[in-house]
Amino acid sequence: MILFPPDPFPIPPASTRNTLWHSGGILLEDLWPEPPWKVLARTKRAEALAAIAMVRAGLGQRSKPDDTFGIPAIEWEEAFVRTVPKVRDILMDSLSAHEAFDLNQRLAGAMRTTVAEIRSANIERYLDFWSVGRGLVRPISPGSITLHQKELARWLPRMGWPWNDLALHASVVPAQLSSGAWGIVRLFGNQFQSVVPETFPTEAHALAVAISLAGKLGSRNVDIAETVEAKEVKREGPVQRSIGTSTPAYLVQTFGFKDVQFGPAVTKRGQIACSGHLADAFADLADVLGMPRHWIGLGGLYLAVGVRGTSGTADDFDARANVIHLPMSRLAGSIAAKWWLALEARLARSILKRPGFISSCADSPSLFDSLTPRIQRVLSQMSFIKEYLIPHSTYYLESRRRNQLSGRDVGLDRVEQLLARAFQAYVQDELLQRDRLSPWLAFGTLSHDEFNDGPLPYPRDAERSNLNQLFGTLLKALARND
């Protein structure tokens, strides 16, 4: 329960009121400043807070002017001052969205009456109730909210609020169409306006696009992975771990990593939070690949979180030390791509007995004679993917253009980097097909994920669909035991 000091807003004398309050009425903000939503989210569910925020936004934002419904302004002001603290306490005590949306009934109960009685009586009799509602032509009850506000209350927590306001300001949310498919709409009062022409098969897919569009409309200069971090985008999917398993030891024991190290700047609380997100991400990856969780560590892979700020490369994977580096500035969104690089390095060591990445030499015919049929199929499929990509695919050409525009060779068009990002896109699409989101594992690969012209190129359209099929065949070849 949130406690407030008693009578914090006494009514000023009529002789001094004009010097204390804004002209044209008393503002809601004067009596009830915007709550610290991020702080409150530590102890209250975001779903409840979003409903509280939207109901608060639906209140009258200032006391009513003179002669509204035949009542003097001073009476509206006094009723407004009396009632706003009561409404604030009722809403801030709400533990669920249902309780917040039930403001009318709860306020009427505090006034020892019912909503039905209030609506049937003269306005003057229940002036306090009507004083905090909108409406100058007809009275509107304080708990009335628009369709816009109702939909925002539903979707904001799943789009990162209150940790950021991008979705709130953009007012872009998913919406299910009459056909059963999902679209993306922008909210205007009680109307929806379609934002993109295409539709999406699952709610999770539409949600991922809506999150990206909200970020694009709200901040065009934010890196995709950093946006995931800032938004605290919610993971959508089955529970993958039990309470109390958010530890580095759990990652080692469950996924077979050699060790998990955190840099000195990562606090104990940060270690627990990161471990939990990583555990969910790697469990989701195991689900997509259809492999046991203890295989994810690839027989000796290291994780280093915040050990160095950035490696200066496109991959943040150290093949020689077999370490996936997760800089604090880019923790989320591309873990699948980094894991793919680790897989390629493992295959190069075990099959070719050499360092580096296996895709760079998958099309060397001299290698095939001494290899098992299974490994030959793997390398043949990888070679086929390379032939599909290089040198004519739009994905490769765009990667090459971005690499040149960077002013230095950051490796965007290297073959292992092309495959890593294509794998990241494959993983995100596979999750979306299952109506799931795993933003730490794979995020920011959709066609709408274009922040500031896009930090990284990913496969698009038909090329993306074809590559997904090719990756599916490759992963099946890797899973076979013959």
Residue 163 has a pLDDT of 79
Non-local CB neighbours of 181 within 8 Å, separated by 6+ positions: 199, 200, 201
Residue 90 included in any domain? yes
Beta partners for 191? 188
Q: Do 261 and 199 share a structural domain?
A: no
**Does 108 have pLDDT greater than 70?**
yes
Residue 456 — pLDDT band, cuts 50, 70, 90? confident
Residue 82 included in any domain? yes
Q: Do 446 and 390 share a structural domain?
A: yes
Q: Do 117 and 27 share a structural domain?
A: yes
**Does 287 have pLDDT greater than 80?**
yes
Q: Do 205 and 262 share a structural domain?
A: no
What is the residue range of 184's domain?
Answer: 166-219
Ranges 74-88, 110-124, 215-229: which has the least confidence: 215-229
Residue 241 — pLDDT band, cuts 50, 70, 90? confident
Residue 402 included in any domain? yes
**Dihedrals phi, psi of 20, to nearest 5 degrees:** -100, -30
For residues 285 and 304, give the distance between their C-alpha atoms in angstroms, rounded to a whole number: 19
pLDDT digits (tens, 9 = 90+) for 82-95: 999 999 999 999 99
pTM of the full predicted structure? 0.68
* End residue of a domain, out of 111, 145, 179: 145
Q: Do 362 and 445 share a structural domain?
A: yes
Residue 234 included in any domain? no
Bigger pLDDT: 313 vs 285? 285
Residue where the block lists tokens 């709400």? 94
pLDDT digits (tens, 9 = 90+) for 37-72: 988 987 888 899 999 999 999 999 999 998 899 999
Average pLDDT for the chain: 83
When divided into structural domains, the chain yields a total of 3
Q: What is the mean pLDDT of residues 121-147?
A: 92
Residue 426 included in any domain? yes
The length of the chain in residues reads: 482
**Does 451 have pLDDT greater than 50?**
no
For residues 183 and 270, give the distance between their C-alpha atoms in angstroms, rounded to a whole number: 36
Residue 71 included in any domain? yes
Residue 210 included in any domain? yes
Residue 391 included in any domain? yes
For residues 268 and 273, give the distance between their C-alpha atoms in angstroms, rounded to a whole number: 9
For residues 376 and 162, give the distance between their C-alpha atoms in angstroms, rounded to a whole number: 51
Q: Do 290 and 202 share a structural domain?
A: no
Q: Do 176 and 137 share a structural domain?
A: no
| Distance of alpha carbon 360 from the chain centroid | 35
Residue 123 has a pLDDT of 94
Spatial contact of 71 and 124, defined as CB atoms under 8 Å apart: yes
